[in-house]
A and B are shown apart, each in its own frame.
Chain A
């Protein structure tokens, strides 16, 4: 165990290795599992309303690593519930901290009249995608009855609906990032 200058526990290489081992005995798969778990905790923190979700996810993983280093035994079947419990505690502590009272500079959902720049940027971002990607993302999120539209789209593409939804979500994430970055620059 290692403590920092203010007495806070800091992640040690040994504790990190122990966490990876808990995720998978194969190093490469463990590294991937760690990244995916972190991504899921970030999502969970966001759904709980934390605006500094990435920091809180890291704190959660550090705390899980510490618990494991201290000898906590977590059955594989309970690992999700265990991490969830730690994450909830980290989130709860954060809500009581002064940092939670601060918000990001912009927390107001933009009104319709501010949408024009976003539309322009979205068009640019969509145009930067491959033609097939453009078609996929715009059709996937199109109006209409999603179930039927997406079933037909998956059939056309020869992929499962699960694969289609993942592909569409990733494209959407790329577009969201692209649009946000462009708007931030301008």
Chain B
């Protein structure tokens, strides 16, 4: 069940028939109910953090006026979680990007370490996973492969793929193919993050999917009801450090 649909339900944006159908489903399937609860948490958080528009805020206020504890909790949680959260890809700590099709790689140790709430000390976070910044080329064969080294204890490789700002789609998919043409890893339903005129895709590739060697990363974009379109490729070479 799509989170956006569940959120629309909570905001009263579904038709009566759609809402009735969803309610029947959530009564029949506990997983749907749990998903809705989770989406509800985020919605209340967004309300408490002032992220909703006027109409959405009014709807939440109306819906939760009988549950003031939940809103109060969300308001209290906001400053605490904001201080403790970990940003995986802080822009200021990334290596400068080249405009070339295949780009330099930054491996490990460049991620922002989690900030700590002074009044609420937290345990140390796990070491940041290795990361790489890639820009797409338009040719499958073009460019020198970007070199990425993975240590044995790295659970995953964090990828930031820079897109052409004109390549705005509802959703994106990303795929890594080995030199033999086999799909080593694939992810759908990604959404791009836009910041300062730049368009990026973020993804986490489990290390176990990358035993080493040459890979081709392909990205596709798709709009609602449309066909996927290839947006570009970049070749990478993974080496496993002992």
A interface residues with partner B (beta carbon < 8 Å): 36-37, 39-41, 43-44, 46-47, 49, 51, 79-81, 83-84, 87, 103-104, 106-110, 112, 114-115, 118-119, 121-123, 126-127, 131-132, 134-135, 137-149, 151-152, 155-156, 158, 162, 165-166, 168-169, 172, 175-176, 179-180, 183
Contact = CB atoms under 8 A, between A and B. Distances in A.
- The binding surface of chain A is classed by DSSP as helix
A138 B73 contact: no
Contacts of A118: 72-73, 75-76
Contacts of A179: 69, 72-73, 76
B198 interface: no
Given A123-B120, A148-B88, A110 B125 contact: no
B: contact size bracket: 35 or more
B240 interface: no
A109 to B, nearest CB: 5
Given A80-B29, A131-B123, A142 B81 contact: yes
A107 B66 CA distance: 5
A110 B84 contact: no
A43 B129 CA distance: 38
A166 B34 CA distance: 7
B88 A122 contact: no
Interface of B: 10, 20, 23-31, 33-38, 40-42, 45, 49, 61, 63-73, 75-77, 79-82, 84-89, 114, 117, 119-120, 122-123, 125-126, 129, 155-156, 158, 190-191, 193, 202-204, 206
Contacts of B73: 118, 122, 172, 175-176, 179-180
